Amino acid sequence: MILDPNDLSAGDLYGYLSTAVAPRPIAFVSTVDANGRVNLSPFSYFNVFSTRPPILVFSPIRRGRDGSAKDTLNNVHEVAEATISIVNYPMVEQVSLTSTEYPTGVNEFGKGGFTEVASEVVRPPRVGEAPVCFECRVNEVIALGEGGGAGNLVVCEVLRIHVQEGMLDDDGKLATRKLDLVARLGGSDYARITPETLFEIPKPLRNCGMGIDQLPAHIRQSTVLTGNNLGRLANQEQLPDADTINQVRDLPDVQRARRRGTVHLHELAQVYLREGRVVEALAMLV
């Protein structure tokens, strides 16, 4: 199926984009207007875009029915400051509640049952329950259009970072497994980041992975090994040497698999990969 965005309604286009481009982190943004009235609202068009300077960007979109701006966008034009709180599972239902379009001037801190905490260097308060919160200066607002559904990139420079101590590991660094983060998907779907759903992939930048094109053809063309399996094998800098191959060939489970045929040998290699025995898996396959 091939789609032309110009042929889709705004709602249908939003559905394709927000469902395919996922999961997305959620920015829980607090702003104030020129009169000091507080607004609190979540945005899943959000990410980090720079380290030096530290830049976060979120995008409020205009109302689909008439292209008008919502309170957050109006506020950052009036007061170029914001706090951005990170959303985790213990607060996600309350965060969702604040996405209700309450009348201008209504403070969603109260509607969502959140604690207002005074910020150190910006006027908007921060969310006391958030595991991590950033105090930001709004450097720029870039309008991407004027009609319904048009985004506005709010470019925020981080001035202060607030972290709950319970979110730190023994080395004083943020611990993913403690944050219990959530992410936005399409429709009403969310994802929860738990230890059971996490997995690690060795980063290629730690070495120079040889690439899948350097694997022998019989490995590349395996009917058992997956693309992920090949990617893990090809992240090695080079093929194993003869001594390593001979040592692995003599392992009892490798000998049994070889006697049973190629499929069993490749299935054993998958077991080794799951156990983190990448060099041995590659040696048996070679």
pLDDT in tens, 144-172: 998 889 999 999 999 999 999 999 999 99
Between CA 166 and CA 169, with CA 168 as vertex, the angle to 5 degrees is: 120
Q: What is the pLDDT of residue 10?
A: 87
**Considering the chain, what percentage of its residues have pLDDT values greater than 90?**
92
Confidence of residue 194 (pLDDT cuts 50, 70, 90): very high
Between CA 202 and CA 206, with CA 203 as vertex, the angle to 5 degrees is: 105
Q: Side chain identity at 254, as an amino acid letter?
A: V
Helix axes 278-285 and 262-274, enclosed angle (nearest 10): 170
Question: What is the residue-averaged pLDDT of the chain?
Answer: 95
pLDDT in tens, 21-60: 999 999 999 999 999 999 999 999 999 999 999 999 999 9
| Average pLDDT rounded to a whole number, residues 102-119 | 96
pTM for this one?
A: 0.88
Q: Side chain identity at 135, as an amino acid letter?
A: E
Structural domains of the chain in order of their starting residue, each with its CATH number? 5-194 (2.30.110.10), 204-285 (no CATH)
Mapping DSSP onto H, E and C, the string for the chain reads CCCCHHHCCHHHHHHHHHHHCCCECCEEEEEECCCCCEEEEEECCEEEEECCCCEEEECCECCCCCCCCCHHHHHHHHCCEEEEEECEHHHHHHHHHHCCCCCCCCCHHHHHCCCEECCCCCCCCEECCCCEEEEEEEEEEEECCCCCCCEEEEEEEEEEEEECHHHECCCCCECHHHHCEEEECCCCCEEECCHHHCCCCCCHHHCCCCCHHHCCHHHHCCCCCCHHHHHHHCCCCCCCCHHHHHHHHCCHHHHHHHHHCHHHHHHHHHHHHHCCCHHHHHHHHC
Q: CA torsion angle for 176, 181, 183, 189 (degrees, to 10)?
A: 130
**Considering the chain, what percentage of its residues have pLDDT values greater than 70?**
99
| Average pLDDT rounded to a whole number, residues 5-20 | 94
Confidence of residue 205 (pLDDT cuts 50, 70, 90): low
pLDDT in tens, 225-254: 999 999 999 999 999 999 999 999 999 999
Residue 204 has pLDDT above 80, yes or no: no
Confidence of residue 65 (pLDDT cuts 50, 70, 90): confident
Q: Considering only 64-68, 82-86, 152-156, 163-167, which range has the smallest mean pLDDT?
A: 64-68
